[in-house]
Structure 1
Amino acid sequence: MNASERARRCGLYQIGEVSKIGGISQRTLRHYDELGLMQPDLVGDNGYRYYSLQTMLKIPVINYLKMMGLSLGGDCLHDAALQPWAGAQVPVQAPCGV
């Protein structure tokens, strides 16, 4: 099973879908990945990025913390603010072998 099939089966979303749902650009999502703020749950052999609902929950948190004046590049936003979300659980509708 290739990455695209696994992503569909596991309820993962491609970066373009996440961009539309989250109201942020694909470039911003790639930037968040580079900073380690929001990494894709799966990267296919073709380089496509796939995100879960659980991971997408970080988008409004990051936006809120940015509005509060925290810097994206600082350890404060990455370590203190997003760690509580690391254990958040969102039910996945299909069984996943990722």
Structure 2
Amino acid sequence: MMSTSFWSADGRIMSSEEFLEALYGTLPDFFKDEAELRIIWSNPMTPKTLLANLAEAGYGKDELVALPRLIQAENRDLFDVLDYISLARESKLDEY
């Protein structure tokens, strides 16, 4: 059995649900929709910048590597996972 700990930017331990909720709220700071994420991901230089900015916001490599498992998408790459989370956030907002 494997367990992953998530930490907020201020050093507080978070549950996986809290981590995903925080990420839902943060992703729009980095890209507004799938089209913008696709543009970022298609340029060889900009994914590194996106990942560095996410790390500065508290979503580092270890956390991002754990994301696919959190949403039961272990066979997907990070682009697909970020896109899925972004779309799930948009769907949540549409419910209100």
- TM-score range for the pair, normalised by the shorter chain length: under 0.3
Task: Tell me the TM-score normalized by structure 1.
Answer: 0.27
More helix by share: 2
Task: Tell me the TM-score normalized by structure 2.
Answer: 0.27
